[in-house]
Amino acid sequence: MTERPATASGDGGDAGDAGYPTSPDQGETLLALDGLTKHFRNDGGFLSGLTLGRDVDGLVGIDREWVRAVDDVSFEIASGETLGLVGESGCGKSTLARTILQLVQPTAGDVYYKGRNFAEMGREELRRQRRDMQMIFQDPQSSLNPRMKVGRIVEEPMEAHGMLDAEGREARARELLERVGLDPQHYNRYPHAFSGGQRQRINLARALSVNPDFVVCDEPVSALDVSIQAQVLNTMADLQAEFGLTYLFITHDLSVIRHISDRVAVMYLGEVVELAETEELFEHPRHPYTEALLNAIPVPDPRAPGVRGRLEGDVPSPIDPPSGCRFRTRCPELIVPGDYDLTPAEWANVRAFARSVDRHEFEAESELAVRREFFGNAEPDGEAGRIVDEAIARLLTGEWDGAAALLNESFADRSICARGRPDYEVEPERDVDRHFAACHLHRDGTPPD
Amino acid sequence: MTAPLLEVENLRTRFHTPDGVVRAVDGISFTVREGEIVGLVGESGAGKSVAGASLLRLVEDPGRIVGGEVTFKGETLVGFPDGRAEAGDGSGDDADDRWRDDVLSAEAIRRRIRGREIAIIFQDPMESLNPVFTVGGQLREFIELNRGLTQGRARELAVDMLREVGIPEAEDRYDDYPHEFSGGMRQRVLIAMALACEPSLVIADEPTTALDVTVEGQILELVADLQAKYDTSFLWITHDMGVVAEICDRVNVMYLGEIVEQADVDDLFYDTSHPYTEALLDSIPRPDRPVDELDPIAGIMPEAIEPPDGCRFHTRCPDARAVCTEINPDCRPLDDAGRPHRAACLKHESVFGAGYRESDPIENEAAGGFDVGRTEEGTDD
Ligand SMILES: Nc1ncnc2c1ncn2[C@@H]1O[C@H](COP(=O)(O)OP(=O)(O)OP(=O)(O)O)[C@@H](O)[C@H]1O
Ligand code: SF4
Ligand code: SF4
Ligand SMILES: [Mg+2]
């Protein structure tokens, strides 16, 4: 801790001090992730969200299946900022949060907090750091002990960290209740007497009780009605300004992310695929997945132009994620393999054909019918044309799997998208520092440092 | 203008709970015409689901339809003998003698209407699919029963439907169990089931709320395609104004058991005529543009057991005046609108003539400033 005195206000010596943390210097790196990775052993048989609970130390039993929940994630969060982390269910957001907070052991990679590597901290230091990092969960209902009065709930973390005496804790709890927009008189009530939004405020008060600098918020407003959601979001913004908090704000809701975040990281299947300042990302997305996400949000405006783009297919299993770019099995922009000379229209047709064969979406009645359905406007010739011919021939003899395999290994698997993990800094469109986009469309850009 | 397919008139449904009577649906009226997607939108507890379930008399105990009329294609699904609307004893909605003579029996609704003419899709697909039977088997049986087809023919149709709603390798997936499908795929199966009998009306209760946004996008697009193809009408229940804007033709906004505004979708957003709708629209963060400061709706939703007197929104309404605490406005047509547009707000003085203009503004939660969300009473220790 000693090498960062400016940011050390929230821990250690101030245990007897009921004051609020002073704002750390804005802009300094508070948290840094370096190649953070978390794999779970999948021994639940059928893959479901429930199988993500088992934890192991390192990659021993290689013969087992591993759920690659978080893979090689690196980013930094500056003091006082809100980094939004957005992605669809199962993409690894919550696992990443839990790994950052050391609630589960990382499989690989490091977490630096205020410049210190968690892996190198002793127990006492770890304990102190934990106090400095608090978490707020999605479900305000289940995260509050129903048999405890609100006051006790807020005081509990202070007690656990030996902060203040009983009287001091009570005074602080009452003050915090007021700060989060509740009535301090509610100190003696039980959680059931509160609405969802109020319960989330109790959670906020509880998290803030131990003077954290860093708060991880995992879908904190997702369970709330929109009108209440706005109240809680506003309160969170006020508290951030007042206490100089740094937020990692996790949600699947892009509207909320746009509103609350300074920068946004987009996750897909265990990886961060794009990271940029919020408006840069929303106005100039550079990763096809981000684009698809943004296109998919229903806009509360009946005159909003355009139909939503449709992202095909489902997210693949994190046990055996696609090679190269993990988004490639659904990417509308998959890059044509260098081996073939195809026009964009021909390539689009080949991909649509391959996808439909793979999903067995049609019946192959005759060669002509297939050609007409998929290659009406542009049919590849040369090597690519011969492969398509062969695939159609297989379809007509009922070999769907064979046709799908042929198309796959001849086309998708040869794309650069399947062959290397994309990792690029692109030139930002707006006046911001950096824009990271893990997509080979930007392979002319520079690799990140 | 086509005649309404579904007409709901002053429908009322209550729950008798130990804490008191919940007026979950309290006198709502709306119509759904052929080929229309009509939205029913509102926050949690507004009564949307109960309203949807009441249409087919599917309200569960201790709930009870206590008044109003529902007609569908000229047949009466809910209707009370004159003067007996509130007649209530312990018997549930299935006791057919509660209803007027021309009202369809519970048996007739089950046999002829539900599934065939009016299908329902619920929010949680797992609730509607039996986990111990295969997806295809359930779909086949449903088709067999409701369309009187042979097993073989029903199976073919089931596979066709699965393909039509975009289940990859439909033939192979036919024998899978519900847990082997992702949430989005299960919802597709339910849509297949809902559409299998080519019903005229589908009641969809938050069918995409539990889904990821890209999956929701797929489903909404699918519904739009199918709707265009079969000309099915939808009653779309949701809390999401984005979804409303995206797919609805007309919209009903609910607050505490009542419909407070009813309009074409464009008018609802661009000629908003009820303070609650306005507040709802102002409180949402936008995906399409930055919003500096969200403008939350003050306070919390009051209990449905003892809704506020007068206009139910008056405790949170920024425009509330004294008269609003006395008169509960019904949802009336606004005269200046070119298209049918109704609102239940006394601000429309020329329509209500309740003396709003001369009435004094009142102190309420909306006037409370920074500590919105705080409850009123504060001394219990
Ligand atoms: N089984 C029940 N017993 C008692 N009260 C009930 C029951 N079901 C619903 N209610 C009450 O009826 C009112 C309307 O509920 P309803 O489920 O229709 O709301 P909703 O608008 O669908 O909300 P959500 O958006 O949360 O689904 C609420 O006050 C609710 O508490
Ligand atoms: S790397 Fe290829 S597959 Fe991945 S997002 Fe970019 S274009 Fe699409
Ligand atoms: S009637 Fe009064 S309280 Fe109700 S919405 Fe209109 S202005 Fe607000
Ligand atoms: Mg509901």
Q: pLDDT band at residue B98, thresholds of 50, 70 and 90?
A: confident
pLDDT single digits (tens) A359-368: 888 888 999 9
Q: Who has greater pLDDT, A55 or A394?
A: A394
Which residue's alpha carbon is nearest to atom 24 within ligand 1?
B44
- Check residue B184 and give its pLDDT: 78
Mean pLDDT across B331-353: 89
d(CA A3, CA A9): 13
Calculate how close chain A gets to B242, using CA atoms only, in Å: 4
Q: pLDDT band at residue A10, thresholds of 50, 70 and 90?
A: very low
Mean pLDDT across A205-229: 88
Lowest mean pLDDT among A274-283, B41-50, B65-74, B214-223: B214-223
- Check residue A61 and give its pLDDT: 40
Mean pLDDT across A223-230: 82
pLDDT at residue A246 is higher than 90 = yes
Q: Who has greater pLDDT, A316 or A448?
A: A316
| Identity of the residue in A195, A227, A300 whose CB atom sits nearest the CB atom of B242 | A300
Name residue A87's amino acid.
Answer: G
Mean pLDDT across B252-264: 97
Dihedral sign from CA coordinates of B199, B205, B206, B211: negative
d(CA A229, CA A220): 9
Q: What is the mean pLDDT of chain B?
A: 87
Assigned superfamily of A29-42+63-261 = P-loop containing nucleotide triphosphate hydrolases (3.40.50.300)
Q: Who has greater pLDDT, B268 or B2?
A: B268
pLDDT at residue B48 is higher than 50 = yes
For chain B, positions 152-181, list CB contacts with chain A under 8 A: 163, 168-172, 179-180
Q: Is the CB of A374 under 6 A from ligand 2?
A: no
Mean pLDDT across B316-320: 95
Its pTM stands at: 0.85
Report CB contact under 8 Å: B213, A258: no
- Check residue B84 and give its pLDDT: 60
Q: pLDDT band at residue A449, thresholds of 50, 70 and 90?
A: low
pLDDT at residue A4 is higher than 50 = no
pLDDT at residue B380 is higher than 70 = no
Lowest mean pLDDT among A231-245, A364-378, B210-224, B227-241: B210-224
Closest by CA position to A346, among listed A414, A411, A441: A411
Which ligand approaches the C-alpha of residue B344 most closely? 3
Q: pLDDT band at residue B95, thresholds of 50, 70 and 90?
A: low
CA angle B343, B349, B354 (to 5 degrees): 100
- In chain A, the percentage of residues whose pLDDT exceeds 90 is 55
Report CB contact under 8 Å: B245, A256: no
- Check residue B13 and give its pLDDT: 95
d(CA A14, CA B232): 66
pLDDT at residue A58 is higher than 60 = no
Contact A363/B at CB under 8 A: no
- Check residue B304 and give its pLDDT: 81
pLDDT at residue A118 is higher than 80 = yes
**What is the number of CB-based contacts under 8 A between chain A and chain B?**
180
- In chain B, the percentage of residues whose pLDDT exceeds 70 is 90
H, E, C per residue of chain A: CCCCHHHHHHCHHHHHCCCCCCCCCCCCEEEEEEEEEEEEECCCCCCCHHHHHCCCCCCCCCCCCEEEEEEEEEEEEECCCEEEEECCCCCCHHHHHHHHCCCCCCCEEEEEECCEEHHHCCHHHHHHHHHHEEEECCCCCCCCCCCCCHHHHHHHHHHHCCCCCHHHHHHHHHHHHHHCCCCHHHHHCCHHHCCHHHHHHHHHHHHHCCCCCEEEEECCCCCCCHHHHHHHHHHHHHHHHHHCCEEEEEECCHHHHHHHCCEEEEEECCEEEEEEEHHHHHHCCCCHHHHHHHHHCCCCCCCCCCCCCCCCCCCCCCCCCCCCCCCCCCCCCCCCCCCCCCCHHHHHHHHHHHHHHHCCCCCCCCHHHHHHHHHCCCCCCHHHHHHHHHHHHHHHCCCHHHHHHHHHHHCHHHCHHHHCCCCEECCCCCCCCCEEECCHHHCCCECCC
Mean pLDDT across B100-128: 86
Domains of chain A by residue range:
29-42+63-261, 344-414
Q: pLDDT band at residue A154, thresholds of 50, 70 and 90?
A: very high
Contact B4/A at CB under 8 A: no
Q: Is the CB of A335 under 6 A from ligand 2?
A: yes
Strand partners, A116: A113
